[in-house]
Structure 1
């Protein structure tokens, strides 16, 4: 199967690699099937809708930027993901990249989690967490840090 995407052009879809979000991604509940596409030579990924070629998110592995990142999956998420083992869980977080990648932020309060065995996925909204929706991926330059004071 092939789809036409806004950013990646025509893309071959391997059904065995498609993630299914049972509840969709918040704000996009009608679209439930996505591919994870790594961007070469980069820590970034596209989370590309298989159902809507213009719907794509940018994501990163939180552990590349925040090695101490951790959370406990709520029971409802464990059920939605099919009770995955620790070894079968993968995590990405959505990033916001505007004009300059050096100013990119990441949403650590709502990770995308999937079960590699079942390909079931969910965006989990963490409760009672210190994580926010806008953590900087890269430190401020000395000039930017001085301007923020």
Structure 2
């Protein structure tokens, strides 16, 4: 399947790379199909892109939460994960959306609304976690800077 994107040009995707978000993303409920893109020019990439297949201009930077918060353990109501299939340690993928302003030292991740994906069924959902101590704008610049040095 040939997909047009604003930032990555045309990409050729196989069906096993398509993630279906039945409720879409918060603020983008009409867009249901996504894929994860990586910066192929770098050997080790920390940040990847959650690219909409329905809207070429919608590509959200995402990151594995354990990179910025090693003890990240979201509590999610089971009802929110219905329809995704059985989640196990092997098929569970959790991503945090990032906000990267012009002053990159102010970049943040949203710990309150992770994207949860079942890699077996390729179904996902963005959910609100029940952890009251997780921030919507958790600053990560210093954590990523130290990650780059390792």
Cα distance in structure 2, aligned partners of 1:60 and 1:45: 6
- Listed one character per residue, the Cα deviations across residues 23-78 of structure 1 (whole Å, up to 9, x for unaligned) are 11111111100001122343101000011111111111110111011112311123
Secondary structure of 1:139's match? helix
- The corresponding residue for 2:129 is 126
- Which of 70, 78, 82 aligns to 2:81? It is 78
Count of residue pairs the alignment pairs up? 140
- The corresponding residue for 1:98 is 101
Moved over 6 A (4+): none
- In structure 1, stretches of 5+ residues that fail to align are 141-149
Cα distance in structure 2, aligned partners of 1:29 and 1:67: 30
TM-score w.r.t. length of structure 2: 0.86
- The corresponding residue for 1:88 is 91
Cα distance in structure 2, aligned partners of 1:42 and 1:103: 20
Computing the radius of gyration from Cα coordinates, the structure with the larger value is 1
Cα drift, residue 115 of structure 1:
0.3
> Which deviates further from its counterpart, 130-139 or 110-119?
130-139
Q: CA RMSD in A?
A: 1.6
Contact kept, 8 Å, 1:91 with 1:113, in 2: the verdict is: yes
- Which of 108, 112, 115 aligns to 1:109? It is 112
Corresponding position: 1:59 with 2:68: no
- In structure 2, stretches of 5+ residues that fail to align are 144-150
Cα distance in structure 2, aligned partners of 1:128 and 1:71: 6
